[in-house]
Structure 1
C-alpha cells in the first residue's frame, strides 16, 4: 500500500462519545468503552492497563509499615501489640496461605500474657495482600472505629499483625479472650484499585471458624467507601453483633448508606432483621 492510498478504516480508532458504554464509564472504574485500534486497544488504554497491573503487583510485594501504624495509633491514645503469623517471609506467605492463618508461637504467648478481663473487642490490623492499603488507611479506620464505640466497652490493645490472612483474627481473639474480633486487612489488589482495605468481623473468634461466621465490609478507600465513614459504619456493625451475640450469615447490615435525601427506612420491631 502506498502512502497515497486511503487507510483501511478498520484500523482507525473507534471514538464514539455517544456510545452507551462511554456514557456509563463515568459511573464505574471498570474498563468499558475504551475504543479499539484494529484488533487491539488504543495506545492510551494499553498503557493505562499496564500501569494498573504494575500497581497491583507492587501492592502485593510492598513493605508493611507496622511500626509506623503502631506509632500513629499510640499517638491517638491506643495501645498496640505486634504479632506475626507462621509465614516467616513474603515469599512463604504467598505460597502458603495456611501459614498466614496461624500464629507464631511466640506471638501466641505474647497475646496470652496480655489477656486480662474479658475484652469486648480486639481490632487487628494486618498486611494481607496489599500492604499499600493498610499503610494508607489502616490506622485511620481503626482509630475511627474505636473512637465511635461506647466508653464503657473493654477494648484489647490493637494488634498489628505481619504476614496476616483474614482467619488469623481467630487465634488472636481466642488468645486474648475477646468476644469480637475485627480484622482490617489489605484486599487482593485488582486492576481498578490496589489500595482497597477490607474489614472482617467475627463474634466468638476461635480457631476453626469459617468464612460463613464472618461479616465483610470491603472496598474501603478514597474511591470507594471513605475511610472516614468506614470507622462509624464498622462501629455500628460491631454493636449489632454484640447486641445479637452473632456474626456471619445471620447478621444483617441494617445501615442505610444512601444519601440523606432518600426516604428513611421503616422501623423494625425489636429483634427483627431486615432481608439483605
Structure 2
C-alpha cells in the first residue's frame, strides 16, 4: 500500500525535478544549460533530448548531398553551374582525410579549367561540408537573397561550383583556376548538439592554393535560431565590398559594419 502511495506521488503534478539557478538564462541560448536534476540524475526529458540531438548531429554528417537537385534550382534562376567532387571517395574518408577534401579530383579540375573565364570578380562555391543538412536547409535561400543584392553591383560572377566532399580550402584552388578576384564558399559547419543545421561562409581575397586560414573571413551559425539569412547577406556584402576596395581579407579586414549599412552602396555609387 505504501508503494502505491509513493507511485501516485511521483506521477502527480507535484514537481520531482529540482530546478537549476540558471533557469532564467535558458531563453537566451540553445546551449544545454540549467538542465535540472531528478535525484542524482538528469531528468528523463533532458536525457532523451540529448540522445535525439546526438542522432540528429550524426544524420547531418552522414546525409547524402543532393547536389544535382540544388544545381537544377540554381540554374532555373539563370546561373550556370559546375558539378564537382574533391579527391575524397566516400563519407568515411571525408571524415578521416581532410587534406583530400581540399583538392579537386582530376575530372573536376578539368571541368573548372574548361569553364574558366579570362577574369571575374567572384567565384561562388557551395560545399556539403560536415553538415549536409545545413546546406539543404540554408544554401539555396541564402544564395538567392545574396544574388538579388549582388545584381545591383558591377561585380562579375564565374559559374557557380557545387562540390561534394569539399572542405573550405577547396575554394582556393577553384577561385585560382577561375581567375577570380575573390572566392566565397558556403559550407555545412560541424554540427553541435543544439545546432545540426548551421551553415558557414568563408570569403578570401586573391584565392590560391596554399592559402591559410588567417587570410579568410568567416561568417558562422547561419540557420533558424542563429544568424538570419538577411543578416548574413548584409554581413557578407559589407565584407566583400571592403575586401574588394582594400584588396585584402582575413586578419587584415576588420568587421566594423555600422547598423545602418546598405549592401554595396559604395560600389554602386562608383558605377
State the distance in 2 between where 1:201 and 1:153 align: 15
Q: For 1:4 and 1:133, how far apart are their aligned partners in 2? A: 49
- Select the residue among 188, 191, 195 that pairs with 1:189: 191
Give yes or no for contact 1:13–1:35 (8 Å, CA) kept in 2.
Answer: no
Instruction: Name the CA distance, whole Å, in 1 between partners of 2:213 and 2:52.
Output: 33
**Structure 1 residue 147: Cα displacement:** 2.2
Helix, strand or coil at the partner of 2:195: coil
Structure 1 window deviating more from structure 2 (207-216 vs 74-83): it is 74-83
How many Å separate the matches in 1 of 2:4 and 2:90? 61
Encode CA deviations 1:55-95: one digit per residue, 9 max, x unaligned: 00000001111111111111222211111100011111111
Q: Structure 1 39/74 Cα, relative in aligned 2: closer, same or farther at 3 Å? A: same
Deviates more, 1:142-151 or 1:197-206: 142-151
Q: Find the aligned partners of 2:5 and 2:84 in 1 and give their Cα distance.
A: 69
RMSD: 2.1
Residue of structure 2 equivalent to 1:85? 86
Tell me, which stretches of 5 or more residues in structure 2 are unaligned? 8-14, 262-271
- Whether the aligned pair in 2 keeps the contact of 1:213 and 1:248 (CA below 8 Å) is yes
Is this contact kept in 2: 1:120–1:180, CA < 8 A?
yes
Superposed CA deviations along residues 34-66 of structure 1, whole A, max 9, x for unmatched, are 111222200000000000000000000011111
* Distance across 2 between alignment mates of 1:236 and 1:78: 23
Equivalent residue number for residue 70 of structure 1: 71
TM, length-normalised to structure 2: 0.88
Task: Give the drift of 1:217.
Answer: 0.1
* Inter-partner Cα distance in structure 2 for 1:5 and 1:231: 59
| Matched ranges for 1:100-119 at <5 A | 100-119=101-120
The answer on whether the counterparts of 1:13 and 1:42 sit within 8 Å (CA) in structure 2 is no
Q: 1:15 Cα shift? A: 3.3
Q: Secondary structure at the match of 2:185?
A: strand
Indicate conservation of the 8 Å contact 2:18/2:38, yes or no: no
- What SS does the aligned partner of 2:36 have? coil
Q: Between Structure 1 and Structure 2, how many residues are aligned?
A: 253
Tell me by how many angstroms 1:5 deviates.
10
Residue pairs, 1:29-48, within 5 angstroms: 29-48=30-49
Deviations 1:223-245 (A, max 9, x none): 11112332232122111110100
8 A contact 2:127–2:162 mirrored in 1: yes
| 4+ residue runs over 4 A deviation | 4-7
